[in-house]
Amino acid sequence: MNENKFTYSYSPAKNSEVDRITAKYTEPYTKNDSDLEELKRLDRRAEMPGTYIGIAVGLAGVLILGLGLSLVLSFDHLIAGLLTGILGLVTAGAATPISKAVTRRGREKYRDQILELSKKIRSEE
């Protein structure tokens, strides 16, 4: 007798998860949103390499400094450890200028595209 019974259960968490997954496979952007997304993508493309390179250079400097400390403290190689530590300090100190230079070059590379797209987005408002 209960075979033809209709049941429905609503789960907002389940539905929002389904919506989130479905959104990955559908075209979610309108024309204006796609221009804004393109602007954000270009900005990230201009900025992120400088950040990544700065982090890598700084990390390498800290590791070289650690090697120098290790040489002095564990192996009693004072001169080699001091020279290695100084090299590590110089490398870590160079991370910020290198990062800024790479970021500046990326901004110059994408400047025209970003400014053109910004004017287009502002004129549509």
**CA-based angle 114:116:121, to the nearest 5?**
90
Between 40 and 124, whose confidence is greater? 40
CA separation for the pair 92, 84 (Å, rounded)? 12
Q: What is the pLDDT of residue 125?
A: 66
CA separation for the pair 53, 1 (Å, rounded)? 70
Per-state percent for the chain, helix, strand, coil, to nearest 5: 85, 0, 15
Q: How many CB atoms neighbour CB 42 within 10 A?
A: 18
CA separation for the pair 70, 66 (Å, rounded)? 6
Q: Give CA separation, 122 vs 35, 36, 39, 97, in Å.
A: 11, 10, 12, 34
Whether the pLDDT of residue 109 is over 90: the answer is yes
Whether the pLDDT of residue 8 is over 90: the answer is no
With residue 84 as reference, give the H or E element that holds it: helix 78-93
Q: What is the pLDDT of residue 28?
A: 55
Distance in angstroms between the alpha carbons of the first and the last residue of the chain: 61
42-80 pLDDT, tens digit each:
999 999 999 999 999 999 999 999 999 999 999 999 999
Q: What is the pLDDT of residue 74?
A: 94
Q: What is the pLDDT of residue 19?
A: 77
Q: Phi first, then psi: what are they for 8, rounded to 5°? A: -140, 130
Structural domain spans, the chain:
29-124
Q: What is the pLDDT of residue 20?
A: 77
